[in-house]
Amino acid sequence: MKRGALTILIVLLMLGFGHAQSFTGSYYNAPLNLVLEEVSSQCNVKMAYDFDLVAKFTVTAKLHKVTLSEALQVAFENTPLTFIEINGVFVIKPDPGKLQVLTIAPAPLPPKYKVMGLVREKLSGETLPYASISLSGTQNGVAANSDGYFSIITQQADSLLLSISYLGYLPAQLTVSPANQRGLLVVELDRQVEVFDAVMIAAPRSDVMQVESEPSRIRLNSARITELPSLSELDITAPIQLLPGIDGTTESMAGLSIRKSGPDENLVLYDGFTVYKIDHFFGAFSSFNAKAIKDVQVFKGGYDATYGGRASGVVEITGKSGSMNKTSVDVGMDLLSTDVTIETPVGKRASFIISGRRSFTDKIQSSLYESLLKSTRADLSSYTKVPAYVSNETSDPSFYYYDLNTKLTINLSSSDVVSMSGYKGRDKLTFFDSGAKYSIDENSDWGSSGMSLRWARQWSSSFSQTLVFGGSRYNLFYQHLDSLRKRKPLTLFQNDTIQKQFILDSRINDVSLTLSNSLNLNENNSLDFGFSVNSVKTDFSESSLHQVNQNVIIDTTRIVANDSRVLSVYAQNTYSNGILKLFKTGIRVNRHSLTNKTYFEPRVQIAIAASSILQLKASAGRYHQFINRIPMVSATDYRSVWAVSDGARFPVVISDHYIAGFSLKPYSSMSIDVEGYSKFTDGLAAIYNSYRRTATNKITLNRSFYKYSSTVLGLDVMLKQNFGRYQLWLAYTLSKASNESKTINGSDSYPAYDDQLHELKIFGVAKVRRWNFSLAWIYGSGKPWDAPTFTNSTVLSPSYSKNSERLPAYQRLDLAIGYAYNIGKVDCKVGMNIVNVLDISNILGRPYQIKDDAYEQVLQGISPLEFSDINGMGRLNTLYFNFSF
């Protein structure tokens, strides 16, 4: 019997006898014939109906344990059909009383099909977060989530060509049939490598970094960023400082200055928890081990509503999960430390990774260690510069550092992933030296630790959910005491006894709970929403003493403690269709306990494909910050404290970002990215030093907190050019950063400390057979420094203008050379990094302190302050070895 005839087609769906007790099903615009098939199957009955007649109608309903009769009544509710039972067969036929419905029934909507997939690495089984999936022949595409899952909603029933790509991996294409796709589609990508034993593959090299379609978002290739020059081959922050808009002339990884904002204004996330200290060796290199990291993304500003709590940028780091297929070991060593990384599967559904690094600098002091300590702590060597008539034996400082990363990942099912991550990094310095007329005692201990428990669930092809519990700690203890007997000027036998003491103890406890939801509404629309609760407790104490012959110049003690909670909710919609690659609108709402106020953060991002080679982009948003870092000693990054915003002494920071630019790809081998930006920030806090001459022959230091605002205007340009398997990058920033305060500089604006008109970075990577070469040249115009001038009464001179002087321009050339080879099944690598190849002398800062004989100097009309230059690194050479099997 032909389909479409007016006769009744009898479909025997179940051969059993008897009716099931109930029916359950959920439908959205489902064809009626498919609903009847499921009813027939669940209820174990026979049905007869005209296929062409029934297929014209759709059903939208949610049924739970209803009777057969009730299910059919709901199914036929908006149709001109009814049913009768004849000898156990349910016959579907037109209802004469409803025929008028047939003439006005709307045409059924085309069915929608869903494809759900997972992107992972072929060799290890590691999932690849935020992988890109595009639909060939269209302008549309999707991105995988942080666990590598993606879903596509389409009306195309037959073949669909997907292109999958991930930075550092060979792209893949595959054809799927959405109508027939069942279960999870697993896509495995091969890592992009060039050398296998003695065979060289002449394929283009993967990029070191990649500009994303979202404004100010850049992804780093975790497998290749270690090829760039740095003091440690495991460093991930040195390559970040080569990006435009990120200061590369500070020589400090203690924090990243993104678009002329302080390092504390950046949110650093590691597997969902906040890290407050990200460096080793007084900021010389990163405390993150690149061998334990899978993905690094940098947001220079204008980021979406899923991130909050900071006023400038975001660095999101995803740790490796460990190999699901085999156990592997990686061992490395350089002139400062050794490291070991072990990855192993745990059963069939879990994996584990542990990666540790520990310096041996407290046991063996290499030439690199001595040079680096002299550069980063030049003040230690100056302490031992006692008068020539004093004999002494100088002891070496004892210093070491370590970091540890662990992660356990359990795949409970194809839709559930649970992971537990841990991190700890610590630095410790002890130094004691004494002689006949001096003594020095310093004890410093600082570091961060954190952990997270994360559960990710893909409820369906259109809805996913992630729950993260994270906690982190930061501690800093710095104690310095020194005493010196120094001959008085113009005397032979009289001495001054000078004593200095500075003690700083700072702690942070950070606990957070975050629930994130993602819902794909249709093929062009998705909705993200969620909430977070963040509790931050800070406490610090500071004690400072400076006296000469029992005459106190400085004597202060401060203790501050605060506990705050921030409740945040967010929602955002992402739309893309055709040339509109991205239109994301969202809002984040924060409730802060200490100020008892609500803070709204509207945000928007847009990207338009103006042509096949040109994409326009823009973003705007408001951002709030509820914790700030306050430096206690001038020009030092690690001697500082964190303070929670209380709305009084420490205000809530408010920052507005405005960004616009374009990405241009005139040739397949060249890309250009340009962004202009403005950033207005209010509620910043700092310390202001003032000096007062007393009636008891003293000069006292008064330190107070003051509030200020900042304005940053800038232009970032990034150009990439491929020459076969060689890459050249150019990063340029033109910017102006100024501050303004009612209590500083007569309320006039003044240059910010990190104001720098020009910064240019040129770097390239090349591969010649088994050799890797990379070069980086950094230039920055002079930054401001403050030179207060006084009258003889220690009152600031009327001609004084804050930060009116400029340091000399900064220049540095770095070089890295690596060689890879194999010994059997062991992959080996040896290399050398040279920082500041030309040994250029750079001045990073020019801080001041009060003189020991300040009172006498003031009486003579001389400034009571003495300035000292902080010099940058000289030429530093480091070697490293690495073995993996």
Instruction: Say yes or no: 47 and 117 in one domain.
Output: no
Domain that includes residue 135, residue range = 113-192
Specify the CATH number for the domain of residue 471: 2.40.170.20
- Other C-beta atoms lying within 10 Å of the C-beta of residue 213: 17
Backbone angles phi, psi at 734, to 5 degrees: -115, 120
For residues 181 and 330, membership in a common domain is answered with: no
Calpha distance 242→765 (Å, rounded): 13
Domain boundary, last residue among 154, 177, 192? 192
Predicted confidence (pLDDT) at residue 19 exceeds the cutoff of 60 = no
Q: What angle do CA 804, 806, 808 make, to 5 degrees?
A: 175
The count of domains in the chain is: 3
Is the same domain home to 26 and 136?
Answer: no
Residue 50 lies in a domain: yes
Identity of residue 429: L
Same domain, 85 and 147: no
In-domain check, residue 300: no
Distance between CA atoms of residues 552 and 498, nearest Å: 10
> Which residue's structure tokens are 């006498």?
856
Indicate the DSSP class of residue 529: E
Give per-residue pLDDT as tens, 65-89.
888 888 888 888 888 888 888 777 7
pLDDT at residue 22 greater than cutoff 80: no
| Domain limit, last residue, from 74, 104, 134 | 104
Whether 110 and 143 have beta carbons less than 8 Å apart is answered as: no
Q: Which segment of 552-566, 650-664, 804-818 scores lowest on mean pLDDT?
A: 552-566
Instruction: Answer with the one of 104, 128, 145 that is the final residue of a domain.
Output: 104
Instruction: Tell me what the pLDDT averaged over the chain comes to.
Output: 85
Q: Is residue 284 part of a domain?
A: no
Same-domain pairing of 147 and 80: no
Same domain, yes or no: 764 and 669:
yes
346 touches 352 (CB < 8 A): yes
- How far, in Å, CA of 560 to CA of 542, rounded? 9
* More confident: 605 or 109: 605
DSSP alpha helices (H): ranges in 670-797?
none
Same domain, yes or no: 526 and 406 = yes
Asked if pLDDT for residue 7 goes beyond 60, the answer is no
User: CA–CA distance from 204 to each of 668, 724, 797 (Å)?
Assistant: 12, 6, 62
- Residue 239, φ and ψ in degrees, nearest 5: -65, -35
- pLDDT band, residue 493 (cuts 50/70/90): low
How does pLDDT run across 272-328, given as a tens digit for each residue? 999 999 999 988 889 999 999 999 999 999 999 999 999 999 999 999 999 999 999
Distance between CA atoms of residues 658 and 655, nearest Å: 10
Give the closest residue to 455 by CA, choosing from 490, 519, 501, 412.
Answer: 412
* pTM of the predicted structure, to 2 decimals: 0.83
Average pLDDT over residues 355-362: 96
Residues 27 and 129 in one domain: no
Asked if residue 219 is part of any domain, the answer here is: no
Write the CATH number for 162.
Answer: 2.60.40.1120
Separation of alpha carbons 627 and 438, rounded Å: 40
Q: Is residue 309 part of a domain?
A: no
Asked whether the beta carbons of 547 and 499 are under 8 A apart, the reply is yes
Domain check: are 728 and 796 in the same one? yes
Q: What is the pLDDT of residue 688?
A: 75
Please state whether beta strands 46-49 and 89-94 pair in parallel, antiparallel, or not at all (unpaired). Answer: parallel
CB 528 within 8 A of CB 585: no
- Give the C-alpha separation, 231 to 334, whole Å: 10
Let me know: does 420 contact 408? Beta carbons within 8 Å. yes
Q: Let me know whether 93 and 118 are in one domain.
A: no
Residue listed under structure tokens 């002329």: 260
Same domain, 78 and 134: no
How many other C-beta atoms can be found within 10 angstroms of the C-beta atom of residue 741?
20
- Average pLDDT value for residue range 216-239: 89
Q: Which residue has the higher pLDDT, 822 or 38?
A: 822
Specify the 3-state DSSP secondary structure of 859: helix
CB 569 within 8 Å of CB 530: yes
Are 45 and 118 members of one domain? no
pLDDT digits (tens, 9 = 90+) for 756-796: 999 999 999 998 889 999 999 999 999 999 888 776 666 77
Q: Which residues contact 717 (CB under 8 A, 6 or more apart)?
A: 244, 672, 673, 674, 730, 731, 732, 733
Please check whether residue 148 lies inside any domain of the structure.
yes
Task: Please list, residue by residue across 300-327, b when 16 or more beta carbons sit within 10 angstroms of its beta carbon and e when fewer do.
Answer: bbbbbbbbbbbbbbbbbbbbbbbbbeee
703 inside domain:
yes
Q: Checking phi first, is residue 280 left (phi over 0); if not, alpha (psi -120 to 50) or beta? A: beta
**DSSP conformation class of 241:** T
401 token code pair: 């550092």
544, 513 in Cβ contact below 8 A? no
Question: Burial letters for 542-551: b for 16+ Cβ neighbours within 10 Å, e otherwise?
Answer: bebbbbbeee
Alpha helices in 659-698 (DSSP H): none
- The residue-averaged pLDDT of 662-670 equals 93
Q: What is the tens place of the pLDDT at every residue in 244-275?
A: 999 999 887 666 899 999 999 999 999 999 99
Residues in the chain: 885
- Whether residue 203 lies inside any domain: the answer is no
- Residues 637 and 277 sit within 8 Å (Cβ to Cβ): no
Q: Tell me the β-bridge partners of 762.
A: 730, 777
User: In the predicted model, is pLDDT for residue 3 greater than 60?
Assistant: no
Label residue 9 by pLDDT band (50, 70, 90).
very low
How far is the C-alpha of 130 from the C-alpha of 150, rounded, in Å? Answer: 9
